């Protein structure tokens, strides 16, 4: 039986008012400003921009504040806002070879042209709590060394010269867009990369880690990891030519993987690719490993039945907004559904426990 | 236009001190652009995610038309960028270059150099340890 119910408005209003109060916390403590979040919690801001799939640091900072620091809730807010924006067009593909790098390391070549640039990294820190940060915010200026901004070549380009690594020839096929068309399988690599670029960091990390532990093992080296700014260029119809409309910081990871060769390809190294908004290197490395694992079919490798090789599994479960939407909806009122389940269980119990006579007769 | 788009909104609006009369051809509008990357850095394009963009177009009373597409959601930034674009087509161009574009360019270069200098200071200098087999 379906019974429409109403009510709860007052409870909901009061719950939201209390939420606002809890969000503010102790009023004797200064309120956080959007600028403070943007500047001092920048990696949280980067994650919200990457997985919210919208590069706007002020909006991401606002979302983090509104979500009380719950990053998936913040990503949800950004995704919802994103849908309200008219789309002016698509950019020319960003040229990561023109990146001005703040960080650039290669785990495969020590003496890589352009050098190993550590940048502002947590690597080599001791992971000991720094109580000075609890005391004050003053920091000395970072050292500098005179240098002109230059572009450094991609590491894979060096291997390419010897033909030791698969090529990634330029191609201008317009990419499919999962924000416009539902994600359908089989998914092209372009579609997989879009889904992975906005996938949940934790999920992507877990998938990538599984490939390292032996599920679809493909032994990745980080050929290159770079973080820096790239200009964004778009064709402006009114002008009839392309102009730079902005600049974004991205993290790019290229993995170099062993490959025995196949019937059509000689033995050579293959590649996995990760590109993510902001300074997000854990996610970018994870993306590259998962991208490589998902390429098993085109490279003629065996399907080992590993989760990271299963495009449906990875692409349909990696989006934290889809996942949380479906997961969390089960806490919302399901009284009528549950009522019918209750009726069914009662009926089954009556039937099962009903005539002991029948059992004896058998 | 690239310089104006990438500059901080507050700098563009602060440097532009001329405010000639104009008519909107398209009042400032906030939207998005889908940013693309290439698989492997050089291969087939894919959609990476969007950026917020504000665009507008205006016409000065002398007839010069200015367009702006600037990153972010700052309508005053877009308006100032479009005004600069229009003024650059008038006889005010040399003055606008001196007072707006050149300072923005110098500031952008200084910022890039500072970042490059900080990055250079984190460049690893390897030295080989004496090997044990000698």
Helices A71-82 and A320-329, interaxial angle, to 10°?
110
pLDDT above 50: residue A362: no
Rg (CA), chain B: 21
Residue A284: give the domain boundaries: 96-119+149-168+182-324
Say whether both A39 and A159 belong to one domain. Answer: no
β-pair type (B22-38, A220-236):
unpaired
Give the ipTM of the model, two decimals please: 0.92
With bands split at pLDDT 50, 70 and 90, how would you rate the model's confidence at B128?
low
Say whether both A41 and A104 belong to one domain. Answer: no
Q: Does any CB of chain A come closer than 8 Å to the CB of residue B131?
A: no
pLDDT above 60: residue A356: no
Q: How far is the alpha carbon of B20 from chain A, nearest alpha carbon, in Å?
A: 22
Assess if residue A28 is contained within a domain: yes
Residues of B in contact with A146 (CB under 8 A): 117, 120
Q: Where are the beta strands (DSSP E) in chain A?
A: 54-55, 87-90, 100-105, 220-236, 241-257, 270-277
Say whether both A161 and A296 belong to one domain. Answer: yes
Say whether both A67 and A108 belong to one domain. Answer: no
Please give the tally of structural domains in chain A: 2
Given strand A220-236, what is the order of strands in its sheet? A100-105, A220-236, A241-257, A270-277
Assess if residue A329 is contained within a domain: no
Say whether both A109 and A256 belong to one domain. Answer: yes
For residue A194, give Cα distances in angstroms to A60, A224, A229, A286, B129.
Answer: 20, 20, 20, 14, 44
Assess if residue A32 is contained within a domain: yes
Q: How far is the alpha carbon of A86 from chain B, nearest alpha carbon, in Å?
A: 5
User: Quick one: pLDDT at residue B133?
Assistant: 59
Residues of A in contact with B7 (CB under 8 A): none
Rg (CA), chain A: 26
Say whether both A38 and A103 belong to one domain. Answer: no
> Of B3, B28, B40, B73, which to mutate for an interface test with A (greatest number of A Cβ within 10 Å)?
B40
Nearest CA in chain A to B57: A238
Q: Would the CB atoms of B42 and A175 count as touching at under 8 Å? A: no
Nearest CA in chain B to A154: B41
Domain-wise residue ranges, chain B: 2-112
User: Quick one: pLDDT at residue A360?
Assistant: 46
Say whether both A78 and A105 belong to one domain. Answer: no
Assess if residue A139 is contained within a domain: no
Span A151-173, pLDDT tens digits: 888 888 877 777 788 888 888 88
Q: How far is the alpha carbon of A155 from chain B, nearest alpha carbon, in Å?
A: 11
With bands split at pLDDT 50, 70 and 90, how would you rate the model's confidence at B93?
very high
Q: Would the CB atoms of A54 and B51 count as touching at under 8 Å? A: yes
Assess if residue A264 is contained within a domain: yes
Region A280-296 average pLDDT: 96
Residues of A in contact with B50 (CB under 8 A): 53-55, 82, 85, 87
Assess if residue A346 is contained within a domain: no
Residues of A in contact with B42 (CB under 8 A): 97, 154, 168-170
Assess if residue A115 is contained within a domain: yes
Say whether both A70 and A22 belong to one domain. Answer: yes
pLDDT above 70: residue B130: no
Rounded to the nearest integer, the mean pLDDT of chain B is 92
With bands split at pLDDT 50, 70 and 90, how would you rate the model's confidence at A8?
confident
Q: Does any CB of chain A come closer than 8 Å to the CB of residue B32?
A: yes
Assess if residue A136 is contained within a domain: no
């Amino acid at each position: 039986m379906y019974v429409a119910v109403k009510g709860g408005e007052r409870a909901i209003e009061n719950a939201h008012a209390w939420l606002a109060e809890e969000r503010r916390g102790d009023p004797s403590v200064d309120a956080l400003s959007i600028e403070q979040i943007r500047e001092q919690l920048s990696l949280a801001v980067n994650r919200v921009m990457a997985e919210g799939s919208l590069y706007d640091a002020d909006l991401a900072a606002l979302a983090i504040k509104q979500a009380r620091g719950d990053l998936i809730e913040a990503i949800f807010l950004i995704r919802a806002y994103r849908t309200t924006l008219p789309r002016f067009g698509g950019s020319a593909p960003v040229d990561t070879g023109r990146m001005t790098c703040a960080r650039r390391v290669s785990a495969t070549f020590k003496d890589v042209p352009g050098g190993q640039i550590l940048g502002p990294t947590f690597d080599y820190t001791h992971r000991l709590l720094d109580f000075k940060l609890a005391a004050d915010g003053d920091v000395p200026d970072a050292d500098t060394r005179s240098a002109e901004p230059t572009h450094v070549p991609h590491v894979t380009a060096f291997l390419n010269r010897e033909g030791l690594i698969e090529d990634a020839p330029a191609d201008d096929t317009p990419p499919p867009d999962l924000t416009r068309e539902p994600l359908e399988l089989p998914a092209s690599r372009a579609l997989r990369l879009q889904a992975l670029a906005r996938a949940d960091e934790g999920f992507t990390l877990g998938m990538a880690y599984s490939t390292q532990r032996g599920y679809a093992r493909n032994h990745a080296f980080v050929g290159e990891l770079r973080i820096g700014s790239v200009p964004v260029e778009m064709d402006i119809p009114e002008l009839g030519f392309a102009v730079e409309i902005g600049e974004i910081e991205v993290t790019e990871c290229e993995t170099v993987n062993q490959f025995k060769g196949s019937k059509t390809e000689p033995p050579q190294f293959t590649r996995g690719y990760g590109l993510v908004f902001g300074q997000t290197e854990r996610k970018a490395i994870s993306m590259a490993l998962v991208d490589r694992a998902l390429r098993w079919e085109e490279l003629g490798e065996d399907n080992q039945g590993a989760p990271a090789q299963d495009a449906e599994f990875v692409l349909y479960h990696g989006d934290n907004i889809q996942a949380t939407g479906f997961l969390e909806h089960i806490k919302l009122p399901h009284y009528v559904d549950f009522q019918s389940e209750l009726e069914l269980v009662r009926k089954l119990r009556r039937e099962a426990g009903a005539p002991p006579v029948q059992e004896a007769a058998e | 236009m690239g310089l104006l788009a990438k500059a901080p909104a507050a700098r563009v609006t602060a440097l532009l001190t001329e405010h000639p009369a104009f008519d909107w051809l398209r009042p400032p509008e906030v939207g998005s652009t889908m940013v693309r990357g290439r698989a492997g850095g050089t291969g087939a394009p894919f959609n990476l995610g969007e950026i917020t963009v504000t665009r507008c177009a205006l016409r000065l009373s002398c007839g010069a038309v200015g367009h702006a597409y600037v990153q972010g959601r700052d309508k005053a930034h877009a308006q100032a960028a479009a005004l600069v674009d229009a003024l650059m087509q008038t006889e005010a161009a040399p003055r606008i270059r001196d007072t707006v574009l050149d300072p923005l360019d110098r500031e952008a270069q200084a910022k890039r150099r500072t970042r490059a200098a900080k990055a250079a200071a984190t460049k690893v200098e390897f030295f080989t340890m004496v090997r044990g087999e000698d």
